[in-house]
Amino acid sequence: MALGLPSILPNPQPAIGELVRDRQPTFSFEFMPPKTEQGERQLWQAIRELEPLQPSFVSITYGAGGTTRDTTVAVTERVATETTLLPMAHLTAVNHSVAELRHVIGRLAGAGVRNVLAVRGDPPGDPTGEWVRHPDGIDYAEDLVRLVRRSGDFSVGVAAFPYRHPRSPDIASDTEYFVRKCRAGAEFAITQMFFDADEYLRLRDRVAAAGCDTPILAGVMPVIRIGTIERSVQLSGAPFPPALAARFERVADDPEAVRRLGIEQASEMCQRLLDEGVPGIHFITFNRSTATREIWQNLRVGAST
């Protein structure tokens, strides 16, 4: 049953699916909903510092187990109404009934937000724990894609996994699951973070070989401290490239050297991706602007030389 939302939202925002196909390469930023007042100040400082770069869009994540549902929607609404940025809200199915999901979708529509990243999400508390379907919820991301698309004039994106999703038994299954999400109505995808351009290129090749041409944006997070490496493994479920880890280990006792190497490595990887025709780069900011701006500047300098 659809929400009955108007097919055309008031003052409709651009559809990210169309932007990604028509204005390649896109550049975009990912923010997280804040948990404290200090975190909120940091978030909005980062937003204001990155806004002048005129990204193609920005996204606001959804906490594990749906824990930041209301904050995610509130931040997305504020970005839509108080900035010049084009917002996309993440939406996860975990711990939500279909009725609750429809309520969130309705709030987004009411704020004029038409872009949604639909993901199943991880169980709360333990991302690697057993997936338990909400008794009145849905099972898979492809079901969430269909729900959002049926609910109004939305442009829907999904997640992609260069290494493979931690719950996928093998690469072939992971590719099949991704293609099913696209055939359910996803117009574009954003990868989980990765640190080797070849991982992205292999993903793109295997999706193309499966007959799917959905644009896949590269999710990029620079390593700015040694702890980022361990965190990236926890968040992505993918091993950190051993050769790159060894480079960071050699400068581990010098925080500034770690940061310089992280900016350099991310800039070089982004440039290679652009040279290989990536349709867009999505910077995972963790609500800080400095590293993203430095990489952005490196890419602009490289493009002008």
CATH number at residue 123: 3.20.20.220
* 107 in any annotated domain: yes
Q: Regarding beta strands 87-92 and 57-60, do their DSSP bridges make them parallel or antiparallel, or are they unpaired?
A: parallel
In a domain, 175, yes or no: yes
Helix segments in 161-241, DSSP class H:
171-183, 197-209, 226-236
Rounded CA separation 167/32 (Å): 24
The pLDDT assigned to 191 comes to 96
Specify if 205 maps to a domain.
yes
Whole-model pTM: value is: 0.90
Range of the domain at 88: 16-221+280-289
Q: Could you tell me if residue 2 is inside a domain?
A: no
Q: Decide if 113 is inside a domain.
A: yes
Which residues of the chain carry a pLDDT beneath 70? 1-12, 63-69, 122-133, 165-166, 168, 301-305
87-92/115-119 β-pairing: parallel
Domain count, the chain: 1
Integer Cα distance of 183 and 152 in angstroms: 18
Say which of 30, 142, 199, 294 is annotated catalytic. Answer: 30
In the DSSP assignment, the letter for residue 250 is H
Structure tokens at 283: 């910077």
Report residue 50 as tokens.
């990155």
In a domain, 266, yes or no: no
CB 223 within 8 A of CB 268: no
Tell me the one-letter amino acid at 153: D
Identify whether 40 is a catalytic site residue.
no
Residue 241 lies in a domain: no
Instruction: Please write the tens of the pLDDT for every residue from 169-202.
Output: 788 989 999 999 999 999 999 999 999 999 999 9
